[in-house]
Structure 1
Amino acid sequence: TDATTNTHVEYVQITANGLSSGMGYAGAATLPELHQRARFMRVTTAGREESHPHDVTITHEAPNYHSS
């Protein structure tokens, strides 16, 4: 496989893992159930900062995490 294929596979895996995590938070076992339970929540800047790791030394960034 070439680098492009690996990048696409990695992206799909990261997306699927995130979706699975979100389904767990929502208590949804299926995509239709997730759709039914979905709610948009406004998160403040302070809340966003607090929800991410802080006051920790990171030696290697995760491939799906980019701090702004």
Structure 2
Amino acid sequence: MTNRNMVKDAAPDLAVRPNTPPLPPMPAPEDSATPTTREEPTDSPHLNASLKREAPAPGTQGLSTKR
């Protein structure tokens, strides 16, 4: 048997809110407070950081960018 004082009311039907404000559109202005993005640029020096860039050929390193 459940004690009626233990049962909580139904949660309000509110939309879920993010914890942080959304990032500015990219590229962000230079004076932006948050000049960041969650997407790596195509010419990133990291190994295959961008899905837009093809993987390096076998036997080659992926640390250099081809321009």
Q: TM-score scaled to structure 1, two decimals? A: 0.25
> Which structure dedicates a bigger proportion of its chain to helix?
1
Larger-gyration structure (1/2): 2
